[in-house]
Amino acid sequence: MSIKIKGKIVMAVALVGGLAAGTLAASGENAVPANDQEVERTRQQIKMLDDVFKTAVVLIDETYVKKPSDPSAASAAKALFAAMKKNGWYDVRLIGLTDKVGDPDDEPKDAFEKTAAKKLRAGGDKVYEEVLEKDGKRYLRMATGIPVVSENCVMCHAHFKGDKGNIGALSYTVPVVK
């Protein structure tokens, strides 16, 4: 592997790691108490998953996506997300935050994702979260912002060239770790 490629990978991993470690923003009625250790363990798990996924997407993009007809790194990520959900681990979705979402499946689907999309797109927040209870079980919902991180992004999404904000997000629903 050339020094140039290694340098790009190191820069991409540093950028993605920084994004995954962003400031958390809790919502009103579902705000997370600061001393909730179960939620904090789950939050750390999601941060790790976020770092792994975003690093993998950047590495796939840098290594394999050379022209618009190549399968996108986002397609690979969506296949991985589907496998994790099918195996019962958790649910994670790629969502678009702008008015130019190419795949209808990437539209924010529920109130959490719609609120997260507004807050993450508006800037400032890198992460949006809330806790919900369903069927007697608690879940941490977390959305983490995705900015344009490489020239390959704009190869297929030219309308994002020069956009410095979050254009997408990963939306997680993970059972709270007891």
pLDDT one digit per residue (tens) for the chain, 178 residues: 444 444 444 444 444 444 444 434 444 456 666 688 999 999 999 999 999 999 999 899 889 888 888 888 888 899 999 999 999 889 999 998 887 777 888 899 999 999 999 999 888 778 999 999 999 999 999 999 988 877 777 776 777 777 788 888 999 999 998 8
Q: Are 103 and 78 in contact (CB under 8 A)?
A: no
Q: Which pair of tokens denotes residue 68?
A: 């618009």
The CA distance from 52 to 107, in Å, is 23
Question: Looking at residue 120, what is its pLDDT?
Answer: 94
The predicted structure's pLDDT at residue 3: 47
Helical (H) or strand (E) element with 85: helix 73-86
Q: Is this prediction's pTM over 0.85?
A: no
The span from the CA of 177 to the CA of 43, in Å, is: 9
Residues in contact with 136: Cβ distance below 8 Å, sequence separation at least 6, in sequence order: none
Contacts of 129 (CB under 8 A, 6+ apart): 24, 25, 26, 27, 32, 43, 140, 141, 142, 143
